[in-house]
DNA sequence: AATATTAGCGGACTATAGTCCACTTGTCAA
DNA sequence: TTGACAAGTGGACTATAGTCCGCTAATATT
């Protein structure tokens, strides 16, 4: 498994020249302002216009950098997502070396994903909403790498003879991640009242049933 | 299993007296107008203001009947949802009488739910979106009865000794329905390009793995 | 250093959901 | 029949996301 590039709008542009100095300063200012406002008053209670105003830039400037609130939120999570990804990969290497089955690794990955989703759900809500709004064709970055990880583990488990026969692994990866869609996840947490542990255990049970 | 009341804002009010005649006429007019506009131009391209305007009523009137676009869409699906529910229940009685295992019934139910979701996804998108917007506390009617059905079948399967031990049935019901959340479902259909058959089979495989 | 190129900027503008409230009218009870 | 009042109505208003486009100025080229 390989690290997935998580910085679609990072400072080093794919296109060509480096970011202009004033633009870089504004980017930092915007991120910093957004982070503060979100922390003080909650993500859902802060609108884009306000972020621009408090940061002292025009709305056009804000939207040039971040095409919507979701992208901005994604940028704020960037570091933590990368760290989560890296630490997961490191962990897996270790577990594989110890001979821990891939299905077990999958169960643990899902469990830590439950925690990640819980912690970042306010930002993730915006990311998903934006992904939806831009039409179904735009993919959602967090989901993308989560899917890559899950499906890689499923394939490894199959190669390793841990899985029951005739499973549609490609679809299965999606089905296992479906309960982690943020809106649904929040419903389970705050309406159903399920704890993180219960959700993690439920997913573990499902994963275990896939065994031969 | 019992039929679930699907008409939260039907003509016969739970509270008391009958709907005023002029209001009833407007309700019909609104539904009829919305149905036509949605059919002609697509649900997502028709806004509430336009429906009110074309129907010749004020926005206030429209919103008094349907607190948001989701409720309006739900009202438009009302008949079909009821029919789907009734025919599912009838079908189950027959299958149970024939001795078809409950897990098999569950797999078939999910399969028909996949079709239902696919057909009504444009309206369901609005229903779910509205459910989300009104805060996590408002429950989503279609999901509610779907969950009732799934969890009843799971419990029946358990009583009947069809299930593996120590499963968290309550959670499992949610997990099985998660891939049918409309936004996620559309992602699978139109981005991943999965067919209805493939999704149905995927869910069937998952259900079958729950067996003892 | 002068100039051209083009990224960057800002804020007015549109679109849409949904709220509010003063006004109107149907319904029921006397 | 009539009057009270709850139900119903309409449209102005707010809030917010996101677009557009003419102006400005940083950077590259000469």
For residues A167-175, average pLDDT: 97
Average pLDDT of chain B is 89
CB A78 within 8 A of CB A65: no
Q: Which of A2-11, A141-150, B127-136 has the lowest mean pLDDT?
A: A2-11
Question: A2 in a domain, yes or no?
Answer: no
Would you say residue A84 has pLDDT above 90? yes
State residue A82's pLDDT score.
93
For residues B196-210, average pLDDT: 97
Convert the pLDDT of each residue in B15-49 to its tens digit: 445 777 877 888 899 999 999 999 999 999 999 99
In chain B, the number of structural domains is 1
Instruction: Name the residue among B37, B57, B203 with its Cα closest to residue A206.
Output: B203
Report how far residue A15's alpha carbon sits from residue A121's, in angstroms, rounded to the nearest whole number: 32
Report how far residue A76's alpha carbon sits from residue A37's, in angstroms, rounded to the nearest whole number: 12
State residue A81's pLDDT score.
93
Question: A26 in a domain, yes or no?
Answer: no
Question: A89 in a domain, yes or no?
Answer: yes
CB B98 within 8 A of CB B88: no
Convert the pLDDT of each residue in B121-132 to its tens digit: 999 999 998 887
Residue numbers of the domain that contains B165: 72-208
For residues A99-106, average pLDDT: 97
Q: Return the ∠ at Cα A180 (arms to A178 and A185), rounded to 5°.
A: 115
State residue A136's pLDDT score.
56
Question: B134 in a domain, yes or no?
Answer: yes
State residue B194's pLDDT score.
97
Of all nucleotides, the one whose C1′ comes closest to residue A20's CA is D26
A209:B210 CB<8 A: yes
State residue B75's pLDDT score.
93
Q: Which of A126-135, B15-24, B38-47, B84-93 has the lowest mean pLDDT?
A: B15-24
Sort out which chain B residues have CB atoms less than 8 A from A171's CB and list them. 194, 198-199, 201-202
**Ramachandran category for residue A166: left, alpha or beta (phi over 0 → left; psi -120 to 50 → alpha):** left
State residue B7's pLDDT score.
46
Report how far residue B135's alpha carbon sits from residue A146's, in angstroms, rounded to the nearest whole number: 26
List the nucleotides on chain C closer than 7 A to a protein CB.
7-13, 15-22, 25-28
* Residue B158, both tokens: 């358990």
Sort out which chain B residues have CB atoms less than 8 A from A205's CB and list them. 166-168, 172
Would you say residue A138 has pLDDT above 80? no
Contacts of A138 (CB under 8 A, 6+ apart): A131
Question: A21 in a domain, yes or no?
Answer: no
> For B172, which of A137, A172, A202 is closest by C-beta distance?
A202
State residue A11's pLDDT score.
41
State residue A26's pLDDT score.
83
**pLDDT confidence tier of residue A2, bands split at 50, 70 and 90:** low
**Helix or strand (DSSP H, E) at B85:** helix B69-97
Q: What are the DSSP calls for B153-175, one per residue?
A: HHHHHHHTT-BPSS--HHHHHHH
Contacts of A150 (CB under 8 A, 6+ apart): A106, A109, A110, A173, A176, A177
Sort out which chain A residues have CB atoms less than 8 A from B201's CB and list them. 168, 171
Alpha-carbon B201 to chain mean position: 20
- Percentage of chain B lying above the pLDDT 90 cut: 75
Q: Report which of residues B212 and A96 the model is more confident about.
A: A96
For residues B113-120, average pLDDT: 97
Report how far residue B169's alpha carbon sits from residue B174's, in angstroms, rounded to the nearest whole number: 9
Convert the pLDDT of each residue in A6-17 to its tens digit: 444 444 444 445
Question: B38 in a domain, yes or no?
Answer: no
For residues A129-144, average pLDDT: 74
For residues A158-163, average pLDDT: 96
A178:B183 CB<8 A: no
Q: What is the CATH number of the domain that holds B100?
A: 1.10.357
Question: B59 in a domain, yes or no?
Answer: no
For residues A15-27, average pLDDT: 72
Would you say residue B203 has pLDDT above 90? yes
Residues written for chain A: 212
Alpha-carbon A50 to chain mean position: 25
State residue B58's pLDDT score.
87
Question: B140 in a domain, yes or no?
Answer: yes
A130 in contact with nucleic chain D (CB within 7 A) = yes
């Amino acid at each position: 498994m390989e690290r997935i590039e998580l910085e679609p709008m990072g400072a080093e542009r794919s296109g060509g020249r480096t970011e202009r100095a004033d633009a870089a300063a504004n980017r930092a200012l915007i991120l910093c302002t957004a982070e503060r406002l979100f922390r003080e008053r909650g993500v859902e209670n802060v609108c884009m216009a306000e972020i621009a105003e408090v940061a002292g830039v025009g709305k056009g400037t804000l939207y040039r950098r971040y095409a919507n609130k979701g992208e901005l939120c994604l940028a704020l999570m960037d570091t933590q997502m990368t760290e989560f990804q890296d630490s997961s990969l490191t962990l897996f290497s270790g577990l594989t070396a110890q001979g821990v089955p891939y299905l077990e690794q999958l169960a643990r990955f899902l469990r830590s994903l439950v925690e990640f989703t819980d912690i970042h759900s306010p930002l993730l809500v915006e990311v998903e909403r934006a992904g939806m709004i831009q039409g179904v064709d735009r993919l959602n970055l967090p989901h993308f790498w989560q899917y890559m990880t899950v499906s890689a583990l499923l394939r490894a488990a199959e190669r390793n003879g841990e899985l029951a026969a005739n499973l549609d692994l490609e679809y299965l990866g999606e089905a296992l991640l479906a309960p982690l869609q943020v809106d649904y996840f929040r419903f389970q947490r705050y309406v159903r009242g399920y704890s993180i542990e219960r959700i993690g255990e439920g997913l573990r049970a499902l994963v275990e049933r896939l065994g031969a």
